[in-house]
């Protein structure tokens, strides 16, 4: 199992992550998101929306995995976007992707 996806799963179970376009966008706007992850197979429109939002609100943005893998890691259906709300989890995930 992928360590980044494992970390994401842990953060969700700890209640430190939200997924789905609306929830992620809300977390970014309310400045509760510490890291946003968007699947590599998300639409160009979705990628651009989150990349623009994240750069505007100064939130790290990461393209990672595919919709099915993200959804599986979160224990849900396919997901294109996830916001990590905890600095510890975000730091660990960024470190794993370096």
Question: 98: pLDDT confidence band, cut at 50, 70 and 90?
Answer: confident
Beta bridge partners of 48: none
Please report the DSSP string for 38-70 in residue order: E-TTS-HHHHHHHHHHHHHTT--EEE-S-HHHH
Q: What is this structure's pTM?
A: 0.93
Domains of the chain are: 3-97 (3.30.1330.30)
Q: Is the pLDDT of residue 26 over 60?
A: yes
Contact indicator for 76, 44 with CB cutoff of 8 Å: no
Q: Is the pLDDT of residue 47 over 70?
A: yes
């Amino acid at each position: 199992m992928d360590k980044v996806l494992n970390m994401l799963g842990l953060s969700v179970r700890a209640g430190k992550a939200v997924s789905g376009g609306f929830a992620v966008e809300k977390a970014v706007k309310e400045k509760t998101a510490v890291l946003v992850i968007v699947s590599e197979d998300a639409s160009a429109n979705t990628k651009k929306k989150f990349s623009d939002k994240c750069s505007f609100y100064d939130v790290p943005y990461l393209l990672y995995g595919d919709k099915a893998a993200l959804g599986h890691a979160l224990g849900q259906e396919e997901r294109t976007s996830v916001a990590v709300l905890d600095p510890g989890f975000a730091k660990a995930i960024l470190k794993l992707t370096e």
